[in-house]
Structure 1
Amino acid sequence: MRTLNLGILAHVDAGKTSLTERLLHTAGVIDEIGSVDDGSTQTDSLTLERQRGITIKSAVVSFVVDGVTVNLIDTPGHPDFIAEVERVLNVLDGAVLVISAVEGVQAQTRVLMRTLRRLRIPTLIFVNKIDRRGAHDERVLRAVSERLSPAIVPMGAAHGLGARDAGFTPYGEADSAFTAGLAEVLADHDDALMAAYLDDATPLPYRRLRDGLAAQTGRALVHPVYFGSAITGAGVDALITGVTKLLPASERDTEGPVSGTVFKIERGTAGEKIAYVRMVSGTVRTRDKLLFGRDGADSVGGAVSVCGEGKVTAISVFDQGAVVSRGSVEAGRIGLLRGLGDIRIGDTIGAAMAAVDAADRAGASSAQVPSGQWHFAPPTLETVVVPRSPADKGALHEALAQLVEQDPLINLRQDAIRQEISVSLYGEVQKEVIQATLANDFGVDVTFRETTTICVERPAGPGEAVEIMGKDPNPFLATIGLRVEPAPHGSGVEFRREIELGSLPLAFLKAIEETVKQTLLQGIHGWQVIDCAVTLTRSGYAPRQSHAHAVFDKSMSSTGGDFRNLTPLVLMAALKQAGTVVYEPMHRFRLELPADVYGSALPVLAKLRAVPRTPSTHGSSYLLEGEIPAAQVHELEQRLPTLTRGEGVLESAFDHYEQVTGPLPSRPRTDHDPLNRKEYLLRVVRRVAG
């Protein structure tokens, strides 16, 4: 049977979870459709989700329709939980992007569609809520074409908009306007079709148009658009036909080598780790031993193989809306694997990691497995988490460590000097959810310090430093020379070598590379250093030596610790010579407000350092677009109701980093501070050389 991993994505409140319920009901999985407002939906199973009426965690449900096994993944729509969407994108065969017929294209809609198109994930568009007052079809279609993609194909006509009996009539072969428009869109990506389209004497067969639509939809070149209502079911049958006929479901190789991707981690009732794995090929059985790991790519880039091994103790799969225990999970399915205690989100299991392990055994410097590069912007806010009871410090750390397993972008940051723990955030709602989760699931009551903005640093120019073994003030049995240089924006951190291959043992080389990336998490001003190239220009070590009785003496021989301890001193000396520039995150915003308050809004925007572009008029409203520092977005959201009499509508999303002007913000360090050589050596080796 063919399988399809299908993601349901949307801006918050567009009706994504309601559509999931309707699809399950239509497929015969559930007898009664749940309500988001009543907290009775299948996929919003968390207590917090039911209380708040929003999706917080991605959820999987499986059903069979028209001979296709659909693994449907419902994702959060609120931008504070974009990390959940991030992880799901890596396992999708196709997606349905849900848009409200009332609100139309919103900020998160554009962020999602831009990413889906960049990753070439085949996507259908479902315009929901045609039964609601204020629903529009032509206006939404124009917005989709202008703001999401011009390559859209309306698959039918909506009628009775705004009424309970609103419906959707699919187009067919007899609709000449539809076939002409379809041919025109498809011809843009198919030269043969273009030639046939221009030949008026040869009308294009409808079957050829349908086959072309399926092919181009599967290549993410065009996007069919459906209208309907998840509440009434209007248009859902047509959407299901589109899912099964236009998205690329396929047969999977169940006999091939085991390969899969971990996209979600949960904890069971007994505290055991449960890994959600999308199986790409092969079959995993209970009691199988699996290799797993990743390329080490994180927010600073890089490719350092990380491998683990575990024995699968139990397997569950999704089947017809339920989770059932099975003895195996095969290609094309999503399995819940227990027993892999060290596995993490983003890990690859099976054959790919066997290649990594073989490469490591052969002495390769690194092996490549699927990349963990982020598709969306990283969090731009952070806050310190403080337990109300000092006695809960240990429990807080353990609880946050488990939350980081489920969401690595929380990015736990521990300051041992100040005894503080900070977390990264996308927004205030996420902070509230973390607070409630800590209280409800772990019994830890916490408060938060003021939310601050996360900046980044980039090298201002080149810088070099070297420390030579045996020469003061170097107390380590290692020689390291490093050069730091700026790299193109968005390139992360690249580690290069100018030393001869084989001149330094692989273990020492890995120690330097890993420590470089760890050290650059805190630059001159305490922010993560991005977009730079670090080159190893010089190296040296003391070979393994022993006393006469063959007892190894580490005081005479270099160890990995020598290289790990020396690297931060050399790297930060080179970075200090290069200098760094601090950048702050900027959001693009779209603000719709009454025309009569436009004049009073401009000074407020200026005070918040927003830079609006020339406004446009829409009836009695003004539309402002521009840029605003991420640090000021929350204040603008709070002031907007008073400023616009409750009529203003604000959309914002991260856009880029911009150089800070004026006093440079800094962040306290949480490491041994290699910028202060004396203090660093006192903490690392308990003495100061020279």
Structure 2
Amino acid sequence: MASQKYNFPLTNTIQTIRNIGIIAHIDAGKTTTTERMLFYSGVTKNIGNVDDGDTVMDYLPAERERGITITSAAITFEWNGNKINLIDTPGHADFTFEVIRSIRVLDGAVTILDGVAGVEAQTEKVWNQAAEMAIPRIIFVNKMDRPGAGFSRTVKEVVSKLNTKVALINIPLFETDGTVNSEERFCGVVDVVDKKVIKWQENSDGNDVTVIDITEYPSDTVKEECEKARTALIENLCEFDEGLVETFLELGDYMEVPKADIKRALRQSTISQEITPVLCGASFRNIGVQPLLDAVVELLPTPIERPHPNAIIELSKSKKRTKIGGHKAKAIIRKEITLTPESNKMLTCALAFKVVNDPIRGMLTYVRVYSGILRSGSMFHNTATGTNERAVKLLQMKADESVEVDQIAAGNIGVIVGAKDVRTGDTLVCHSIKKDGIKQLTDNDINLHLRPISVPPPVFFASIEPCTVSDRKGMDEALNILLKEDPSLHLSVDENSGQTLLSGMGELHLDIAADRLINSLKAKVEMGKIMITYKETIQATTATIENSYKMTESVVDGEAPPSGRVKLLIEPLYPDIPETYAGAHLLDNENNYLTIDSTIAHQRHLIISNEDIHHAFITGIIPALASGGKIANLPLRDLHFRVLEWEIPEDVTSTLAISTATRLAAREALDTLAKPGDINGATKAYALLEPVMSVKITINEEDLGTVVQDVSGTRRGNIASLDEEYGTTGVGLNGKEEINYKDLAERTYVPLDMTMYMSKHNVRNNNSRQHVVRASVPLKEMVGYLKSLRSMTQGRGTFAMEFEKWERVSVDRLPGIIAEL
């Protein structure tokens, strides 16, 4: 990893910081736009291009080879005296987790749209994820130089599909070369706020720019369009800004309203998410990127203009009595707080949102600091693991290059070098001034947890094995690194075959993981066929099983060896169990719960704490879940383990006996429903579960019947709704009003330029109404669906899907699925 010297100070105040992300559908031009940002800000001397494989942000070999973004690369650069921390995120659905964990630490986002394709499926998905986290956004309509690019059509799609009001702050400029019958070409933008025409020299690097006052531009049509656009912009902003209303009433002319008043109202409305600014350009042709950078610093919020993050403090408090046993136990007290830089000036709090293994420096932990100052060399406490580590070095990144810094202040994004025990989503705290001040942190400080990053369930898996026995150690080490980097990957071992199974979000996700293992981490492994993940569950309650386990066979001082005893049963998890049982423990990510009967009342005082006993129950149960299914030895989910009785000697200091007794009892209980190898008994007492996806398909009206029949018939899907694409009604971005976005899209101003003409004649038949089919479909039936959809719709149909639920497989389908496993 090379080092880079930046030409700006790293002591920027929080008021000059912008933490932004680039989000979009695959191939909309995210990386291309980002490379131009780096070039114009002076970070790079040459413009990197995806097609040439020399981009800065897509620095992994697999990214450069495939021309797509896989990981969320981060970089820091300056624009007009402001410090921008930028994250370029993936656009492929298989890497949605990368997008989620990046959005978690952003203060604003740039949504890039393909001016030809308009608003696409993945764009909607990521847009909604950002909306759920209340991230202010601006939109950049890219590829305006392409044949068929439709700025006006795309703007209307933004309103109707993304459910937002828009503010056009620049509009496209087209010119001819002056010869007879010459076609118009996209050459610049009209700045509606500043009343300027901005033109870029053709085939230049984008630095050769001509700025003309609108009054001096020779085309009356362009002047009239600028006035219409400015009128619409001010009228839209006046809905939310009384000050702008008063200014306009005083002047009485939309063209005379000062740009400072417009920018103030626009910034406030953007941050409050009342409105979404829209710009346009052609990044590959180096047109329109500088105004986009201006909009980032002028319109998107600083860290202090965003709501402060919520955190939870979890404290243990001793109680005299407990439901389990008669000795003193510790109850968990949860207190929710709002974390502000002023709440505790001595406390530094940061969220680890990404972990990466670097071949030279080791583990790199990307963090967002929310309060205090993280200093190089400081000891920090991981509130998730309870461990202490030292921040050996701190970096700020330029993708795979870096600059070492002394500190990372509140509001900033940076990297910790050398942290070995940090995972994605962990909360890190330390003293803001003293590098070894962990002991001075309060109980509240060391038990503080920022909202964790949720990990979606993996739905595909593949076996992964070392090439030789001697390669296993290297494989295990590489897999450990890979799982730290990407928590959406999951590792398990098939107890019957002994195979190691790697699970992920999609086929491409696992393909890239294997590529990283082999080519980056140098593991000598072989990967099996990628398959769909299935689970099992039980359909009846097991018999009650009691099991005792002796800790040692020897007699100590003439007394019988100490033992642990447990009595339990297992039942299907009913929906109300987590609420009914206040002390229910969630065992894993498979929705399995443990409850301990509250009627148990031992009068003895034990050396071992209740927390340790609970942990012993859990460690005993987990092995039974890993491959406890009797149909195909698959992992079990949706179970409720009920411990009815337990007992251990008073003077025992180890939980081994109770843990082992629990493990044996759990397996014996599952065997009471069906013995191993009894497939007939297994299919009666157990059920196979398959992943079902929530699918959204966008098609033209003439293809509706064919697609619906295919989904509901051939693919066994359940149709949830059939809607016209533009018939949406919803709550505005601010959550304050009900809006019919179809009507709003029709009323929204758009310029009457060449793109409108092109969109009607060269792209798609706008007279054919589009429909959205929403359905629940088994994942098995969706493998390879894109090819089928394109065939049915002559290439016009699009779809997106995400995990919805686990659903029981009908008995008639069992033999076919089992044969594939």
| 2:363 matches 1:261 | no
Q: 1:222 aligns with which of 275, 300, 319?
A: 275
Deviation at 1:59, TM superposition (A): 0.9
**Would you say 1:636 and 2:785 are equivalent positions?**
yes
Match of 1:280 in 2: 370
The aligned counterpart of 1:369 is: 449
Whole-angstrom CA distance in 1 between matches of 2:253 and 2:151: 29
Contact kept in structure 2, 1:541 and 1:558, CA below 8 Å: no
The root-mean-square deviation of aligned C-alpha atoms, in Å, is 4.6
Which SS does the other structure have where 1:275 is aligned? Answer: strand
Paired residue secondary structure (1:529): coil
| Alignment CA distance shift 1:516-1:470 (3 Å) | closer
Partner of 2:186: 165
Give the match for residue 101 of structure 1.
115
- In structure 2, relative to structure 1, the CA distance for the partners of 1:178 and 1:575 (3 Å cut) is farther
- 1:381 corresponds to which residue? 460
Between 602-611 and 237-246, report the one with greater CA deviation: 602-611
Please say if 1:507 is aligned against 2:611. yes
Deviation at 1:390, TM superposition (A): 5.6
Q: Deviations over 1:578-609 (max 9, x none)?
A: 98784532231315379489659945862222
The alignment status of 1:529 with 2:613, answered yes or no, reads: no
Q: AA paired with 2:144?
A: I
SS in 2 for 1:18: helix
State the match for 1:651 in structure 2: 799
Question: Is the Cα contact below 8 Å between 2:702 and 2:768 reproduced in 1?
Answer: yes
Aligned to 1:156: 170
Report if the CA contact (8 A) 1:496-1:536 is conserved: yes
Q: Which residue of 1 aligns with 2:752?
A: none
How has the CA–CA distance of structure 1 residues 288 and 21 changed in structure 2, closer, same or farther, with 3 Å as cutoff? same
Alignment of structure 1 residues 268-307 onto 2, 5 Å: 268-270=358-360, 272-294=362-384, 306-307=385-386
Residue 106 of structure 2 is matched in structure 1 by 92
Letter in 2 for 1:507: E
Paired residue for 1:687?
Answer: none
Say if 1:630 and 1:654, in contact at 8 Å, map to a contact too.
Answer: no
Change (3 A) 1:203 1:542: farther
| Residue identity opposite 1:529 in structure 2 | R
Partner of 2:73: 59
* SS at structure 2 position matched to 1:165: strand
SS at match of 1:418: coil
Q: Which amino acid aligns with 1:392?
A: D
**Counterparts of 1:575 and 1:263, CA distance in 2:** 42
Conserved? CA contact 2:348–2:371, under 8 Å: yes
**Partner amino acid for 1:654?**
E
Compare relative contact order (CA 8 Å, sep 6+) and give the higher one, 1 or 2: 2
Spell out, residue by residue over 1:242-275, the C-alpha distance to the aligned partner (whole angstroms, 9 max, x if none). Answer: 2112211146959642211112222232472222
CA contact (8 A) 1:157 1:170 kept: yes
**Which whole-Å deviations, capped at 9, do the CAs of 1:197-248 have from their partners, x for residues lacking one?**
9999999977666434323422344322222221233332332222112211
Residue in 1 that maps onto 2:126: 112
Q: Deviations over 1:386-442 (max 9, x none)?
A: 445565344333322221111111111122441211112222222322232233221
Residue equivalent to 2:504: 425
Give the one of 699, 717, 734 matched to 1:592. 699
Q: Could you tell me which residue of structure 1 aligns to residue 484 of structure 2? A: 405
1:22 to 15, 32, 36: 36
Give the residue type in structure 2 aligned to 1:406. Answer: E
Name the stretch that deviates more: 344-353 or 416-425: 344-353
> Which stretch shows the higher mean deviation, 167-176 or 197-206?
197-206
Larger radius of gyration: 2
Distance in 1 of aligned mates of 2:239 and 2:399: 40
1:562 alignment partner in structure 2:
657
> Relative to 1, partners in 2 of residues 1:97 and 1:560: Cα closer, same or farther, differing over 3 Å?
farther
TM-score (norm 2): 0.66
CA–CA separation in structure 1 for the residues paired with 2:373 and 2:655: 39
CA displacement 1:58-106 (0-9 Å, x = unmatched): 1111111123211111111111222222221222111111111111111
Matched, 1:133 2:141: no
2:420: which partner in 1? 341
Q: CA contact under 8 A between 1:290 and 1:349: conserved in structure 2? A: yes
Quick one: which of 567, 575, 580 aligns to 1:486?
575
State the SS of the aligned residue for 2:285: coil
Against the structure 1 CA distance between its residues 360 and 624, is the aligned structure 2 distance closer, same or farther, given a 3 Å change threshold? closer
Change (3 A) 1:240 1:514: farther
Between 110-119 and 205-214, report the one with greater CA deviation.
205-214
Is contact 2:536–2:637 with CA below 8 Å preserved after alignment? yes
Change (3 A) 1:404 1:236: same
Deviations 1:439-460 (A, max 9, x none): 3221524232241144576x87
Q: CA deviation at 1:3?
A: 1.5
Distance 1:46 1:201, change over 3 A: closer
| Kept after mapping to 2: 8 A contact 1:262/1:278 | yes
Secondary structure at 1:85's aligned position in 2? Answer: helix
Tell me which amino acid in the other structure corresponds to 1:130: M
Q: 1:599 and 1:248, CA in 2 relative to 1: closer, same or farther beyond 3 A?
A: closer
Within 5 Å, give how 1:11-50 maps onto structure 2: 11-50=25-64
Report the residue type matching 1:269 in the other structure.
P
Q: Flag structure 2 segments of 5+ consecutive residues without an equivalent.
A: 1-11, 176-182, 196-225, 305-339, 432-436, 551-561, 580-585, 674-684, 725-764
Could you list the per-position Cα deviations for residues 303-333 of structure 1 after superposition, in whole angstroms to 9, with x for gaps in the alignment?
xxx2211123222223799511233333333
CA separation of 1:160 and 1:361: change in aligned 2, threshold 3 A: closer
CA deviations on 1:286-315 (whole Å, 9 max, x unpaired) are 332211142xxxxxxxxxxx2211123222
What stretches of structure 1 of length at least 5 have no aligned partner? 295-305, 545-556, 669-690
Q: Distance in 2 between matches of 1:478 and 1:361?
A: 38
Residues 53 and 310 of structure 1: CA distance in aligned 2, closer, same or farther (over 3 Å) = same
* Distance of 1:182 and 1:456 partners within structure 2: 56
Matches within 5 A, 1:351-366: 351=430
Corresponding residue SS for 1:287: coil
Counterpart amino acid of residue 485 in structure 2: Q
Amino acid at match of 1:272: G
Contact 1:479 1:541 in 2 (8 A): no
**TM-score using structure 1 length:** 0.78
- Contact 1:521–1:529 (Cα < 8 Å) also in 2: no
- Residue matched to 2:86: 72
**Deviation at 1:565?**
3.4
CA distance in 2, matches of 1:73, 1:151: 25
Q: Distance in 2 between matches of 1:141 and 1:568?
A: 60
Please report how far the alpha carbon of residue 527 of structure 1 lies from its aligned counterpart in structure 2 after TM superposition.
4.3
Amino acid at match of 2:279: Y
Shift of 1:142: 1.9
Partner of 1:249: 302
Deviations 1:327-376 (A, max 9, x none): 333333333222322222221111499799965999xxxx55123242x7
CA contact (8 A) 1:11 1:99 kept: yes
Change (3 A) 1:570 1:470: closer
Q: Determine if contact 1:308/1:343 at 8 Å carries over to the other structure.
A: no
Aligned partner letter, 2:191: P
